[in-house]
Amino acid sequence: MKTTVQISNRLGGSLTLTLHCKSKNNDLAKVTKWEVYVVVISLFVHLAASRVESIFGEGRTVKITNKLGGGLKLTLHCKSKDDDLGVQTLAPDSSWSFKFKPAFFGTTLFFCNFDWGGESHWFDIYDDDRDRVSDNQCYLCSWNINRSYPCRFDESTNRFDLCYDWNKGRKVEITNKLGGGLTLTLHCKSKDDDLDVQTLAPDSSWSFKFSPAVLKTTLFFCNFTWGGESHWFDIYDDNRDGDGRDFPCYLCRWNINRSHPCRADTNRFVKQCYDWNKTRVHVVVIFLLIQIVLFQVETIASNVHPNIFTRKSMVRITNRLGDGSTLNLHCKSPDDDLGLKILATNNSWSFTFRPNIWGNTFFTCHFTWPRGHSTVNTLRYI
């Protein structure tokens, strides 16, 4: 469809009107009268986009107020997938706010870490599903941060009574602080999850989220390599970082330096540094019965009772490295961690277990010894 624009000189007084019309792509001074037809598709698109923006893209403001009480200062750090809003510090009863426009498809999420007096929590301070789509949507989203939970202002009651629990999960953030322009390569795992290899440029960060196990047995370990060096470290250990420990964390920030990994607070100031784990992780899976170069693992299985439900098996491992080398080993199954063992030359260590009735019991042992050798052997019971 085309639209015709007709312009008439109604100035009067015999005045001549001079005009010059243009569009983005056409200069109408160069065409004849009958060609003066303006295609207004672009205008319609602009108007439609403006209408969509007015309906779906109205700005939002999030306001956060320190209501901890007791004269406590509140330190907070808010982020979205694309934006880092920096660290803020709020005196008692003071506030800080930020503005944004939600994404068209309703996927906007801002989360904040809150620290005070040795405590640390994090919370989704703006979630499209809760604050825009639900019955309790907000344009000015005002939050009071209390010690027990965050509470949002409810316009229907005129009170801060929309209270929520802190996020239950944990977040681990790792930053390359090696210096010297070195790139950091890391690979993090737990018993059940492999988080893949990540590469960090100097001063850049990578993070992952998870929910700790109810029994407080969660452990994530990472291998770090740079410039010919390789170390590994338990980046999250419930025994160190979980609730009730000396240094619990919900946002667990780690600065990786050449000498050691250091956990930092919200301001990225170092709180505690740790030694690297003593053995290296180079995962090479080699099944039982394959002869390992330079050493031999002897496995003895003995049935002590013919009944399949009471039968036990024993695995004995002997250090046959030679040259007086010490053998470090660490054996696990999906359900049991047998701990780190150290065997002098010709010394042995053994463990017993009861195979499950499905016939798929297996233990994995990680072996390390001097000169940087390392391997993993899977002991499968069939």
- 290 with 332: CB under 8 angstroms? no
- The answer to whether 86 and 75 are in contact (CB under 8 A) is no
Tell me how far apart the alpha carbons of residues 132 and 56 are, in angstroms, rounded to a whole number: 10
CA–CA distance, 95 with 61 (Å, rounded to integer):
13
Instruction: Enumerate the H helices of the chain as residue ranges.
Output: 41-56, 128-131, 238-241
Rounded CA-CA distance 192/184 in Å is 24
Instruction: Please tell me the distance from the alpha carbon of residue 159 to that of residue 350, in angstroms, as a whole number.
Output: 64
Q: Which helix (H) or strand (E) holds 84?
A: strand 84-90
Q: Is the pLDDT of residue 111 over 70?
A: yes
Residue 46 has a pLDDT of 46
Determine which of 55-69, 79-93, 145-159, 249-263 has the lowest per-residue pLDDT on average. 55-69
Q: pLDDT at residue 154 above 60? A: yes
Residue listed under structure tokens 């880092």: 84
Mean pLDDT of 227-240: 92
As a whole number of angstroms, the distance between CA 51 and CA 158 comes to 31
Residue 286 has pLDDT above 90, yes or no: no
Rg for the chain (alpha carbons), in Å?
Answer: 32
Which domains occur in the chain, in start order?
3-56 (no CATH), 60-163 (2.60.40), 171-273 (2.60.40), 285-380 (2.60.40)
List, for residues 313-349, the tens digit of each pLDDT value.
Answer: 888 898 888 777 888 888 888 888 898 888 888 888 9
What pLDDT is attached to residue 266?
53
Helix (H) or strand (E) holding 66: strand 60-66
What per-residue confidence (pLDDT) applies to 49?
A: 47
- Give the mean pLDDT of 129-158: 90
Q: 115 with 75: CB under 8 angstroms?
A: yes
**What is residue 377's predicted lDDT score, i.e. its pLDDT?**
57
- The proportion of the chain whose per-residue pLDDT surpasses 70, expressed as a percent, equals 77
Cα 12–Cα 14–Cα 19 angle in degrees, nearest 5: 80
Cα–Cα distance measured from residue 310 to residue 303, given in angstroms and rounded to the nearest whole number: 10
- How many Å is the maximal CA-CA distance in the chain? 121
Give this prediction's pTM: 0.45
3 state DSSP class of 172: strand
Residue 182: alpha-carbon gap to chain centroid: 22
